[in-house]
Chains A and B, each alone.
Chain A
Amino acid sequence: DVKVTQSSRYLVKRTGEKVFLECVQDMDHENMFWYRQDPGLGLRLIYFSYDVKMKEKGDIPEGYSVSREKKERFSLILESASTNQTSMYLCASGKRGENTGELFFGEGSRLTVL
């Protein structure tokens, strides 16, 4: 069974802390994505990656960075967490090519910043 695993389901952090959200996929997918989900706003793309060591900004990259050192792993980093980054974070992966819209999602990481 294909799987996208997010390391933490729930996190509580304090303002100013550095936060790492890890995502691993076992499908050998080239593309990986980080979305943020907020009520009434749907999913908004933070960053994505088409290949190892490659990254592209999405619609809301401010306050975030990413790392992709290995094909199967895509990390989201909040250098200095703020309360407005309290949200659900969803990682997704997909194949490069004609089915690029077919994404596989992890179960999400709910982050609370106090």
Chain B
Amino acid sequence: AQSVTQPDIHITVSEGASLELRCNYSYGATPYLFWYVQSPGQGLQLLLKYFSGDTLVQGIKGFEAEFKRSQSSFNLRKPSVHWSDAAEYFCAVENDYKLSFGAGTTVTVRA
């Protein structure tokens, strides 16, 4: 089964600065990849997804992600972070109609 790895456990970024969260997936056919966000005390919300086609996908809240097959990566980016972006972010891959999640990256935003 395919899996994802998020190398960064915790990232701190200043408000207004850019943000990039890393996600690497294991080898396999073209994966279906997702990024979810979990704000404090909330369930997870889908930010964006990649199935096929254009390798740069746009999501909600100003996020985007780029699928790079050569690097087995699906990194999440945001050009300018807002304090409300402080949350935990999960990368996920679909396996037989189920999602397998990475360990998550916690983002702290400092003023």
Contact = CB atoms under 8 A, between A and B. Distances in A.
Interface in A9-57: 31, 33, 35, 40-45, 48, 50
Contacts, number: 54
Interface of A: 4, 31, 33, 35, 40-45, 48, 50, 58-59, 90, 92, 96, 98, 100-103, 105-108
B44 A45 contact: no
B43 A106 contact: yes
A101 B103 contact: no
A45 B3 CA distance: 13
A97 to B, nearest CB: 9
Interface residues of B, number: 23
Contact of A103 (B42, B99, B100, B103): B99
A42 B45 CA distance: 15
14 contacts: A31-B97, A33-B99, A40-B103, A42-B102, A42-B104, A43-B99, A92-B43, A96-B97, A98-B51, A101-B94, A103-B44, A105-B44, A107-B41, A107-B42
A40 to B, nearest CB: 6
B101 A100 contact: no
Interface in B1-37: 6, 9, 32, 34
Nearest to B6: A42
